[in-house]
Chain A
Amino acid sequence: MQAYNLTHLKELESEAIFVMREVASQFENPVLLFSGGKDSIVCAHIARKAFFPANIPFPLMHVDTGHNFPETIEFRDKFINKIGANLIVASVQDSIDQGRVVEEKGINASRNGLQTTTLLDAIEEHKFDAAIGGARRDEEKARAKERFFSHRDEFGQWDPKNQRPELWNLFNGMKHFGENFRIFPISNWTEMDVWQYILAEGIELPPLYFAHQREVFKRDGVIMSTSDFIEQKPEEKVNTMTVRFRTIGDMTCTGAVESNADSLELIIEEVAATRTTERGTRSDDKRSEAAMEDRKKQGYF
């Protein structure tokens, strides 16, 4: 008798495809948030699979801080072109120019927090009722309590103590006018699952994820790439190192790790042996113990 068993990756993929199709069915105007990072690339890949042979029935949106790695933008445009999707770019620079937000000052200035306003404005402007994102529960402990279908009020706020219970695979996307949802199809994936899936599916990634030579300096123990967007202190010495990035965000808050892993196989071996979480390289999470929870409440992912 044949064993009707799926591997863990196939089961996670099937679950994520199911969620994508629920979004397309339950919402009128969904959008897939695309940062050019590996998690959102995996989400876009799964969305393609979910609706094949049709195209993805909703646009992709990039919240552009203007402080991206140039490699990310190059990859983004190539990727969008390849899969034949529509891309909307929501710009933090525009929000600053319109006086919606004020740029942070000082040495650790980052536009990471400003993204929330740009995102919420874009959701309102385009009347999106669901925004799909690649956040995972294993990333951070406030995220461990996030739902697949995460309800947001008309201010885009997350109320962690008043979340809808989520049972079986029955997702409740009912809402009032003006409210919207954040949807996390790869909630149950770990960093390792994502890498294994990328390997198994032969998914292309921005070169930043692979070991390369780069001019860097150290701040609070985090290896940062030199860039026009960061003010360096005089004592912060620039070195050329062989590094790669475990996550890709803004140049101002994304740290690199020293690594020689220049292939997916080597990255997976490295991830298996690593003793710190991937967000350990993110200075935006280090601001306080509840940094992520607070940002999420305000509407961050």
Chain B
Amino acid sequence: MSEANTYLDMELLRFSTAGSVDDGKSTLIGRLLYDSKSIFEDQYEAIEQTSKKKGEEHVNLALLTDGLRSEREQGITIDVAYRYFATPKRKFIIADTPGHIQYTRNMVTGASTSNLSIILIDARKGIIEQTHRHTFIASLLGIPHVVFCINKMDLVDYDEAVFERIKKETEAFASKLDVKDVHFIPISALKGDNVVNRSENMPWYKGSTLLYLLENIHIGSDHNHIDCRFPVQYVVRPQKEEFHDYRGYAGRIAGGVFKAGDKVVALPSGFSSSIKSIDTFDGEIEEAFAPMSVTLTLEDEIDISRGDMIVRENNQPTVSQDIDLMICWMSNKPLQERGKYAIKHTSADARCVVKEVRYKMDINTLHRLEDEKEIGMNDIGRVSIRTTKPLFFDSYKRNRITGSVILIDEATHETVGAGMIL
């Protein structure tokens, strides 16, 4: 097969990295990009020049990810940066998020679309408060796979005992959280041990390298293929002679597998019908699953518009105006108890009122602070809301698409909160 064709059959893995500057996060990303030959010469030359100009000894790979002028000036990452690389097996999208406490909102943003999270631990320091925070966010955001990279093994003489101790402590801590698939890899991002190439310095480690894991970890089950959910995004009505009576419901499948002939129910009307066809530009298809974008036509003419949801008769989502959420706050103006916000959920728009703040999380100790009701920027807490109209939802644990909402300030139109339905 020619090179052109081998690339046509790859999967996509989205992962996020969390860690602070000192953890060697940028070095790790640089190492992955560099060893997989994804850094271009002109990019490398540009950062080489900048490094020299600043009088730095080594080529500073962190400069690759610092895209904005103020970031370069301050030497810190402010925003989520997206990086791309590919191997013959997979294409990767890295959401590179800053790890400082004030940037919880960026970590949450990066994590929201990831299948996997890499959490860096400095082998010399072991688990620190920040590790707790990163792990908690990965679990809260329902990231299916978490990889702890114990970095800087070169600085602890590649000692197996150090690795085992940190692994044990982390396992004990992670077991209290809801993380399904956990991996540990001893690495040195700087020296390249176990990142792309197997380390000769740690013969005691029998597991896979980081890149091998990224290339081979099973991600086929990361989408929900059980509960059929089709949020209607757009109604297609061609003003054309040959499609005179055509009425198609366009959307992206949020869960389950839809087949032509399936009995379905439209929410909120509750009217039943069956799927006449699943249409795409390339022709009709027999079945469609998440995350495919398709257009459904139904046997019966029923009134369906954007914000409605097509589901299977015997497997329906919760329909309610009263919703409990874990919320991450993203605005300088704290969340207002009794405050009203615009809310977006799948393709539905509504308004909501915050009925009650139940508690705030201390994201470092994981304690629930029942007496603290003020949820400010970068805080995470549990709230109850009531919406102006019923939403059709699943718990976030069950489905990340039908279980997530964002809250929007009605005056500024800023996105102020990210909510995960309990």
Residue of A24, A141, A145 touching B80 (CB-CB under 8 A)? A145
In angstroms, how far is the closest chain B Cβ from the Cβ of A23?
Answer: 10
Alpha-carbon gap, A203 to B72, bound state (A): 39
In angstroms, how far is the closest chain B Cβ from the Cβ of A247?
Answer: 14
Judged by a CB distance under 8 angstroms, whether A14 is at the interface is yes
In angstroms, how far is the closest chain A Cβ from the Cβ of B383?
Answer: 16
The closest CB in chain B to the CB of A48 belongs to B281
Judged by a CB distance under 8 angstroms, whether B353 is at the interface is no
Given contacts A49-B281, A52-B280, contact A276 B41 (CB under 8 A): yes
- Decide if A196 touches B41 in the complex (CB within 8 Å): no
- Decide if B68 touches A138 in the complex (CB within 8 Å): no
Stretch at the interface among B42-50, B167-175, B191-199: B42-50
Chain A residues whose CB sits within 8 angstroms of the CB of B252 once the complex forms: 14, 17-18, 169
Interface size class of A (residues with CB under 8 A): 35 or more
Q: Which of A6-37 contact B (CB under 8 A)?
A: 6-15, 17-18, 21-22, 24-25
Stretch at the interface among A93-101, A228-236, A265-273: A265-273
Judged by a CB distance under 8 angstroms, whether A238 is at the interface is no
Please indicate which of the listed interface residues B41, B236, B257 has the most CB atoms of chain A within 10 Å of its own CB: B236
- Decide if B90 touches A8 in the complex (CB within 8 Å): yes
Chain B residues whose CB sits within 8 angstroms of the CB of A53 once the complex forms: 236, 238, 240, 243, 246, 248, 279
Judged by a CB distance under 8 angstroms, whether B147 is at the interface is no
Count of A-B contacts judged by CB separation below 8 Å: 198
- Decide if B234 touches A24 in the complex (CB within 8 Å): yes
- Decide if B293 touches A17 in the complex (CB within 8 Å): yes
Judged by a CB distance under 8 angstroms, whether A176 is at the interface is yes
Chain B residues whose CB sits within 8 angstroms of the CB of A268 once the complex forms: 3-4, 7
Interface size in chain B (residues, C-beta < 8 A): 83
Residue of A11, A18, A199 touching B4 (CB-CB under 8 A)? A199
In angstroms, how far is the closest chain B Cβ from the Cβ of A172?
Answer: 5
Chain B residues whose CB sits within 8 angstroms of the CB of A165 once the complex forms: 105-106, 108-109, 330, 415, 418
In angstroms, how far is the closest chain A Cβ from the Cβ of B266?
Answer: 18
Residue of A5, A172, A275 touching B344 (CB-CB under 8 A)? A172
Stretch at the interface among A186-194, A204-212, A251-259: A186-194
Alpha-carbon gap, A17 to B236, bound state (A): 13
Convert B61-89 into 0s and 1s, putting 1 for each residue whose CB lies closer than 8 angstroms to a CB of A.
Answer: 00011111110100000111111101000
In angstroms, how far is the closest chain B Cβ from the Cβ of A74?
Answer: 26
- Decide if B291 touches A190 in the complex (CB within 8 Å): no
Judged by a CB distance under 8 angstroms, whether B306 is at the interface is yes
Judged by a CB distance under 8 angstroms, whether B225 is at the interface is yes
Judged by a CB distance under 8 angstroms, whether B31 is at the interface is no
The closest CB in chain A to the CB of B254 belongs to A169
Chain A residues whose CB sits within 8 angstroms of the CB of B330 once the complex forms: 165
Judged by a CB distance under 8 angstroms, whether A54 is at the interface is yes
Given contacts A4-B220, A144-B67, contact A280 B40 (CB under 8 A): yes
Judged by a CB distance under 8 angstroms, whether A277 is at the interface is yes
Chain A residues whose CB sits within 8 angstroms of the CB of B239 once the complex forms: 54
In angstroms, how far is the closest chain A Cβ from the Cβ of B72?
Answer: 8
Residue of B42, B65, B68, B233 touching A25 (CB-CB under 8 A)? B233
- Decide if B289 touches A190 in the complex (CB within 8 Å): no
Q: Which of A253-301 contact B (CB under 8 A)?
A: 264-265, 268-269, 272, 274-277, 280, 289-290, 293
Residue of A4, A50, A143, A144 touching B225 (CB-CB under 8 A)? A4
In angstroms, how far is the closest chain A Cβ from the Cβ of B125?
Answer: 29
Judged by a CB distance under 8 angstroms, whether A55 is at the interface is yes
In angstroms, how far is the closest chain B Cβ from the Cβ of A261?
Answer: 11
Chain A residues whose CB sits within 8 angstroms of the CB of B70 once the complex forms: 161
Judged by a CB distance under 8 angstroms, whether A155 is at the interface is no
Chain B residues whose CB sits within 8 angstroms of the CB of A170 once the complex forms: 344-345, 404-406
Stretch at the interface among B8-16, B207-215, B316-324, B386-394: B8-16
- Decide if B86 touches A192 in the complex (CB within 8 Å): yes
Given contacts A142-B68, A280-B40, contact A21 B4 (CB under 8 A): no
Judged by a CB distance under 8 angstroms, whether A175 is at the interface is yes
Convert A55-69 into 0s and 1s, putting 1 for each residue whose CB lies closer than 8 angstroms to a CB of B.
Answer: 100000000000000
Judged by a CB distance under 8 angstroms, whether A163 is at the interface is yes
Alpha-carbon gap, A274 to B189, bound state (A): 25
Residue of B82, B240, B246, B345 touching A137 (CB-CB under 8 A)? B82
Chain B residues whose CB sits within 8 angstroms of the CB of A143 once the complex forms: 67
Given contacts A166-B109, A269-B4, contact A55 B238 (CB under 8 A): yes
Given contacts A51-B236, A168-B112, A168-B401, contact A14 B105 (CB under 8 A): no
Residue of A137, A167, A174 touching B413 (CB-CB under 8 A)? A174
28 contacts between A and B (CB under 8 A): A3-B220, A4-B257, A4-B290, A5-B220, A6-B12, A8-B12, A18-B233, A24-B234, A49-B280, A53-B236, A138-B84, A141-B67, A144-B67, A144-B83, A145-B67, A145-B68, A160-B68, A160-B79, A167-B112, A190-B86, A196-B7, A265-B2, A268-B4, A269-B3, A272-B7, A289-B69, A293-B67, A293-B68
CB-based closest 4 A-B pairs: A54-B238, A141-B67, A49-B281, A174-B413
Question: Given A18-B293, A161-B79, A190-B86, 14 more contacts at CB 8 Å?
Answer: A8-B12, A14-B292, A15-B291, A51-B250, A52-B236, A137-B82, A142-B67, A144-B81, A167-B109, A169-B401, A176-B413, A187-B82, A268-B3, A293-B68
